[in-house]
Amino acid sequence: MQQQQTRPSMKVEAKLFLARYKRDDKSHLVILDNQKCLKCKNKPCIIVCPAEVYHWEDDRLIVSYDNCVECGSCRIVCPYANIQFSYPRWGKGIGYRYG
Amino acid sequence: MPEKFDVIVVGAGPAGISAAITTARAKLNTIVIERGGIPGEKNMFGGVIWKNAFERLIPDFVKIAPLERKVVEYQYWILTDTGHIKIVYRDERLSKSPSGYTALRAKFDPWYAKKAEEAGAIVVTRTQALKPIVQEDKVIGVETDRGEVYGNVVIAADGANSLLAKQIGLHEEWKPHEMVLGVKEVVEVGRVKIEDTFKLGQDEGIAVTIVGGPVKGMTGGGFLYTNKETLSIGVGALLSDITANRKRPNELLEEFKRHPSISPYIKEGTLREYSAHLIPEGGYYSIPKLYTNGFMVVGDAAMLVNVVGWEGTNFAVESGIHAGETAIEAHKLGDFSMKTLRNYEEKLKNCFVLRDLRKFRNVPPLMRNNKALLTEYPEILNDLLYIWHTVDGKPKELKMKEMRKAILSRRNVAQLIRDSLAVARALFL
């Protein structure tokens, strides 16, 4: 009963299940130098990514590129220009059904 | 064996397709390179299609295009933590001759791309343009993930990220304060519910622009559009503000959806899609150099979005048409150098594209630098209305004093004067 009133936030992962992806086995997002990520205090890529592709584990940036919605935000906010961003090859990646 | 074209268009969105229709109709050998499996599958917008520019290319546009609903009502919502103030604008003249139509890009873009094919252009999908091929200071083609394509002129309609123009130095990387990240959900609520809720006839729709609420403290806003069976609902904020506030886009959207003034509309709906896209909102001062030898930039890739009025699709189409026409002139002259292509910029200066962006050139800087405008003023307005509408036996004279205090507790007199002057200057100078 209570749940109805305060619906819990839907997680991005669950939302992305609705999307259609053609998976590329090569990542289109490349971290050029992990040392720079170690130095990076705010790690804005983790915050801005609408698909929550970036995670910090131990001392390394994990990039779940296959959830990427190809917006490019991570590249723009990276203070070290450390994300080499391209689009997935040959029409792979996300495909919107509504847009 | 690489083939050579008169015109290479990169990107099958509204800007690129408009350019391609223009050049193909003039019998120029035109190829459109699109990275998606079908045009539109990588694209997302709010969204309203402004018909004016499209009708220049397709006179019976509104009859044949796959549009959702004609916008017969505009609403402006100011959200506060606890409530809302709404302006609802409707006029019969609008429903008779609407300017805007809601649309879904995965349906609209493939249809529009077909129009380029019908005009004689070749549209190649699943192909990503990697970089312009430059020879002797002139762009002579594009390297793709399937090989090289050569042409006399390249029209870059590669969208908000604008990777091609950046690679040849027309602009540096966008700054986080120039780009808004928009996140959107398409929620199915059904035709009957939409028409009942918003008092709409068949094919009639509304467009809602929303400020304040969960987006406060950031330069950005929200929107709600009615499609045939679904609602498009979303929020956006400058990348710099999302970073500074450490607010994850999905959390922002979830808070927005939970707001008491929003949640009733989507409560019983079914989520159909979650999407995100950048909107170039840097304004006039952020527009890159628009051309170089053998190369022009159009649409989002050229930052051609007007935040005042929330217009983008018409800027894309208009710029695409002008780039196409410039390519035709260059073809006639046999000269694709900057000398001829500068006409593209001249054309943009003489139409609404650069005239509007120049007119409102100070709006984007003002909105990103003065956060009070979108944060304190909605709250002030709300406080005033709250005090006025609380009938509790206090004489109105006291209420007026309370109202004055409510204003001054958020902005002092100097700030109020400075804010109004800044807004007036940004809009009218």
B53 pLDDT exceeds 60? Answer: yes
- Three-class DSSP category at B188: strand
DSSP state of B35: S
Query: Which tokens is B66 given?
Result: 């796959």
Give the pLDDT confidence of B122-177 residue by residue, as tens digits.
Answer: 999 999 999 999 999 999 999 999 999 999 999 999 999 999 999 999 999 999 99
CA B341 – CA B351 distance, rounded (Å): 17
Question: What confidence score (pLDDT) does residue A7 get?
Answer: 60
Q: Which residues are within 8 A (CB) of B394 and not within 5 positions of it... i.e. 6 or more apart?
A: none
> Model-level pTM?
0.95
Partner residue facing B275 (CB), from A42, A77, A96: A96
Query: Which tokens is B261 given?
Result: 């003034």
Minimal C-alpha gap between B166 and chain A (Å): 12
The CATH class given to the A22-88 domain equals alpha beta
Instruction: Answer whether A96 sits within 8 Å of B106, measured CB to CB.
Output: yes
Q: Does A9 touch chain B (CB under 8 A)?
A: yes
The answer to whether the CB of B30 falls within 8 A of the CB of B120 is yes
> What does chain A come to in residues?
99
CA B402 – CA B424 distance, rounded (Å): 27
Average per-residue pLDDT for chain A: 91
Query: Which tokens is B253 given?
Result: 């959207």
Query: Please, what sign has the CA dihedral across residues B248, B84, B100, B192?
Result: positive
Domain edges within chain A: 22-88
A8 pLDDT exceeds 80? Answer: no
Q: How far apart are the first and last CA of chain A?
A: 34
Query: Which tokens is B274 given?
Result: 């979650």
Kindly indicate the confidence band of residue B1, based on its pLDDT and cuts at 50, 70 and 90: very low
Instruction: Answer whether A98 sits within 8 Å of B273, measured CB to CB.
Output: yes
- Three-class DSSP category at B283: coil
Identify residue A38 by its one-letter amino acid code: L
Q: Does A95 touch chain B (CB under 8 A)?
A: yes
The percent of residues in chain B predicted with pLDDT above 70, rounded, is: 100
Q: Does A40 touch chain B (CB under 8 A)?
A: no
Query: Which tokens is B193 given?
Result: 């519910």
CA B327 – CA B172 distance, rounded (Å): 25
Closest to B240 in 3D by CA, of B295, B175, B314: B175
- Three-class DSSP category at B296: strand
Taking the mean position of all CA atoms in its chain, how far away is CA B419? 26
Question: What confidence score (pLDDT) does residue B309 get?
Answer: 85
Angle at CA of residue B150, ends B144 and B156, nearest 5° = 65
